[in-house]
């Protein structure tokens, strides 16, 4: 049976190679043999399907969803944008999940033993479902840079991890959002695994329109699933 070509193979002018020597851990997880195309099944092409009832009212507010006895420390920010397909059509009911370090650059995770404080009021994870205009919105704390031992004096730029399922399992996107003007981007092997013409798509735009006076700076980040302007995978 001929493989279904509803979704073509990954475009290597946008996405990083599976094995990028400067990003050391990719050597351990990248395939050693050419990939074998398989037939896409109906369930892979039609789901998963999420609705607004899949998320709770605080799930998109990371300044509140991990609060125990106060507000998290750090710079409060708004991150918003639209999820679009290759033709610029808004994608509604897309589940977006995010995870990130706190303002000091520390994750709530046993593997993260970086010498920086945890924040008792910040869990660092959230999710939301896009509205009828394909828009999502998170309130969070600007994540700090952190060291990661990939090479001497290696520091990750400020970033937020994102996961989207898209309209089908075959449009699953895992990537990272960065912030404009971050001096660490020039030294970051993960960001630099993305082909040069596509990597700026991962840098959010500062937006005075999304900024709320006296409260939080706003950043815009549109996510494009497939097509010539697709958002690169980064994991
Ligand atoms: Fe990270």
pLDDT tens per residue across span 7-27:
788 899 999 999 999 999 999
Give pairs for 227-232: CB < 8 Å, separation 24+: 227/85, 227/86, 227/87, 228/86, 229/86, 229/201, 230/11, 230/14, 230/86, 231/173, 231/175, 231/201, 231/202, 232/14, 232/15, 232/16, 232/175, 232/194, 232/195, 232/198, 232/199, 232/201, 232/202
Confidence at residue 5, expressed as pLDDT on a 0 to 100 scale? 53
What's the CA-to-centroid distance between 175 and ligand 1, angstroms?
10
Q: Cβ of 36: how many Cβ atoms within 10 Å?
A: 7
Q: What is the mean pLDDT of the chain?
A: 94
Characterize the bridge pairing of strands 76-85 and 216-220.
parallel
Confidence at residue 1, expressed as pLDDT on a 0 to 100 scale? 40
Confidence at residue 44, expressed as pLDDT on a 0 to 100 scale? 82
Rounded to the nearest angstrom, the gap between the alpha carbon of residue 95 and the centroid of all alpha carbons in its chain is 12
Residues labelled as active-site residues: 107, 146, 156, 159, 161
CA distance 209 to 55: 26
pLDDT tens-place string over residues 67-121 = 999 999 999 999 999 999 999 999 999 999 999 999 999 999 999 999 999 999 9
CB contact at 8 A, 226 and 171:
yes
What's the CA-to-centroid distance between 46 and ligand 1, angstroms?
30
pLDDT tens-place string over residues 143-180 = 999 999 999 999 999 999 999 988 888 888 999 999 99
What's the CA-to-centroid distance between 99 and ligand 1, angstroms?
8
Q: Which of 169, 165, 170, 187 is nearest to 178 (CA)?
A: 187
Q: Is 31 left (phi over 0), alpha (psi -120 to 50) or beta?
A: beta
What's the CA-to-centroid distance between 161 and ligand 1, angstroms?
6
The pTM of the full predicted model, rounded to 2 decimals, is 0.94
Confidence at residue 201, expressed as pLDDT on a 0 to 100 scale? 98
What's the CA-to-centroid distance between 113 and ligand 1, angstroms?
13
Confidence at residue 167, expressed as pLDDT on a 0 to 100 scale? 83
């Amino acid at each position: 049976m001929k493989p279904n070509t509803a979704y073509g193979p990954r475009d290597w002018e946008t996405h990083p190679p599976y094995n990028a020597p400067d990003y050391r851990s990719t050597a351990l997880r990248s395939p050693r043999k050419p990939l074998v195309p398989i037939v896409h099944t109906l369930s892979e092409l039609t789901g998963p399907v999420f609705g607004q009832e899949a998320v709770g009212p605080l799930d998109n507010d990371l300044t509140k969803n991990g609060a125990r006895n106060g507000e998290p420390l750090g710079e409060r920010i708004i991150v918003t944008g639209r999820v679009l397909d290759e033709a610029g059509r808004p994608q509604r009911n897309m589940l977006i999940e995010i995870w990130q370090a706190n303002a000091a650059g520390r994750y709530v995770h046993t593997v993260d033993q970086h010498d920086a404080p945890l924040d008792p009021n910040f869990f660092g994870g959230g999710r939301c479902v896009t509205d009828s205009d394909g828009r999502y919105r998170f309130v969070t704390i600007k994540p700090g840079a952190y060291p990661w031992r990939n090479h001497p004096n290696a520091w990750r730029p400020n970033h937020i991890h994102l996961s989207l399922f898209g309209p089908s399992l075959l449009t699953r996107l895992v990537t990272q959002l960065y912030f404009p003007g971050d001096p660490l981007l020039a030294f970051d092997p993960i960001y630099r695994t993305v082909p040069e013409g596509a990597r700026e798509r991962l840098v959010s735009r500062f937006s005075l329109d999304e900024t709320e006076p006296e409260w939080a700076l706003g950043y815009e980040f549109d996510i494009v699933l497939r097509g010539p302007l697709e958002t690169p995978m980064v994991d």
